[in-house]
Amino acid sequence: MEHLDYYSERKYCGHCEKYVPYLMSVERSFCAECGAEVRLFSERDWAQFNEAMQARNAPWRAARATA
């Protein structure tokens, strides 16, 4: 597992269409470059993440369903 520091963390900015450094408040995070609200993942990366999680959990769910 990578050990990242605060200065190297990035989130996705839909306005800039890239992963950017961000400013974090209590409820939201904002792009340090343009000020738009940022997300943890881009939509494409979010879909890939969810597919990977479903594939990882599929054997567990199948075993649980037959028990």
Q: How far is residue 67's CA from residue 27's CA, in Å, rounded to a whole number?
A: 42
Domain ranges of the chain: 6-66
Residues 8-65 pLDDT 10s: 899 999 999 999 999 999 999 999 999 999 999 999 999 999 999 888 876 655 555 5
Q: Tell me, what amino acid is at 8?
A: S
Q: Is the pLDDT of residue 66 over 70?
A: no
Q: What is the pLDDT of residue 14?
A: 96
